[in-house]
Amino acid sequence: MMALVAADILLVNELPGVKDMSVPSKLTSYFNAGNPVIAATDDGSVTAAELNASHGGIRVNAGDPSALLESAEVLGADKERAKAIGARGLKFRHETLSKTAAVGHYDDFITSLAMSRGR
C-alpha cells in the first residue's frame, strides 16, 4: 500500500474490447490510496462505470497511448485537481466499497425481499 500512496497517478490499463469483465480488484486498492486513477478502458466497460460512479479518475480509450499521456500530463500539471480526484475515489471507497457499506446494502436487499413477500 505504501507504494500506491507514494505514486502521483495510478493506472488501470485494459485491452480494447474488454467490457464485461469484472472490475479490476486493484481499482479498489487504488481508490484506497487516495490518488487519482487514469483508466485506459473502453467506454461502457465495467471499469468505466465504476470510475464514473466514483469520480475518482479519468477514463481514456483503451489502446490510445496519446490520450493516456495527455491525461497524465494534465493531472501532473494540476496538483489541486489531482488531489480532489484522489479524494473523491477514497470517499467512494469508504462509502460504497467498504465492508460496512456492503453489509448495509445486503441488509437492505434482504429487508426488501422480505417485505415483497409480505413478511
Domain 2-116 has CATH 3.40.640.10: no
Per-residue pLDDT reduced to its tens digit, 50-78: 999 999 999 999 999 999 999 999 999 99
C-alpha 80/C-alpha 101 separation (Å) is 28
Question: Long-range contacts made by residues 42-45, C-beta under 8 angstroms, separation at least 24?
Answer: 42/14, 42/16, 42/17, 42/18, 44/19, 45/14, 45/18, 45/19, 45/20, 45/21
Instruction: Give me the mean pLDDT over the 86-108 stretch.
Output: 79
Model-level pTM? 0.79
**Longest pairwise C-alpha distance within the chain:** 57
Per-residue pLDDT reduced to its tens digit, 4-45: 999 999 999 988 887 666 666 788 899 999 999 999 999 999
